Amino acid sequence: MALDLDTLLTKAFRLGASDIHLRIKLPPVFRINGKLVRTELPELTANDINSFVKKIVPVDRLKDLPYMKNIDLAYSIPGVCRFRVNIFKQRGTFAIVMRTIPAKIPDIEELNLPAVIKEIALYPRGLVLVTGATGSGKSTTLAAMLNELNNKDSRVIVTIEDPIEYLHRDKKCIFYQREIGDDADDFFTALKAALREDPDVILVGEMRDPETVRTALDAAETGHMVFSTLHTLDAKETINRIISFFPPYHQQAIRFQLASVLKATISQRLLPRADGKGRVPAVEIMIVTEAIRERIMNPELTEEIPEFIEKGKEVYGSQTFDQSLYNLWKRGLITKEDAIKYATKPDDLKLKMEGIFSSGLEI
């Protein structure tokens, strides 16, 4: 009997899987709490995969299947869950990877994110970047921030996503959600068009090229609130990545523009919970102060950014990864071993945990 896709995905969702891997000669594999779990179902055949692909891909695009090598899209099971889908060719056959997107948008508290993120979500203008590796929860954090804004203020929000992940309902805000492929050709042209759609807030799913980065900076400079993501590990790397999009003769001008519009960066890593029930984010938060702004503008001082993030914890709510790890450990959410394993300065963090204060780690 052929395996039913919706039944399989419903099972994955109820087991708490974050990702589903579907490939021929392999049973369905779920990622649960960061670990791969092979199901006891039969190995998938080419017929299974092809039937899944035909169910996921919109009817008007099925004619392109013989030429399709990679496609991003969304798939929904009403009342259960949405999925972000990537279908791609490997060794001449299709494979499918699906990321679960719960129907309910989680609150900032539910995600164990620092309270200052509620304040960042309500900023009136500027640029805020949420960064981290693939699968670190960037999209979920942004969705929670927009949900906070939707509950607290009245603004027009335009999102540009590939594909649309969380579906936002109008509360105090008005949402326009545009999907690359169906509603727009690419991030750059959609972002340019968004500036003529009376937005107060623009979410750009990812900054992938210099044109999109430049337009996002310009939008923030002209009074819009712009949220976006980058695949960078921390604030310092985020600054350097944005600058590196541009040729050397433009980089100093971009530094000045970035320093003037950037309001905060939120960088995440997911760690296993101490009780084994899921994962919890360790979060670096950089609030852009005058001291940080100076270090963005001056490439010789950029290396000092982590030091000033650390110093700004009490006054501004900023924090380094190691400060976040220490706090999570103190609350019993992660183990000491995992805290040290993921630390930027493991020796300093270990001393702090053992009650020996280090001048290099202000917590």
Q: What is the pLDDT of residues 29-72, one digit of tens each?
A: 999 988 999 999 999 999 999 999 999 998 888 888 888 899 99
CA 318 to CA 284: how far, in whole Å?
Answer: 7
Which domains, ranges and CATH numbers included, belong to the chain? 5-102 (3.30.450.90), 116-319 (3.40.50.300)
Residue 314 token pair? 């009490």
- Pure H helices in the chain: 5-14, 46-56, 116-121, 138-152, 187-194, 210-221, 235-244, 248-261, 290-297, 305-311, 313-316, 321-330, 336-342, 346-353
Assessment of whether the complete model's pTM goes beyond 0.85: yes
Tell me the percentage of the chain whose pLDDT exceeds 70. 97
Q: What is the pLDDT of residues 287-338, one digit of tens each?
A: 999 999 999 999 999 999 999 999 999 899 999 999 999 999 999 999 999 9
Q: Give the closest residue to 240 by CA, choosing from 226, 255, 250, 227.
A: 255
Is pLDDT of 359 > 50? Answer: no
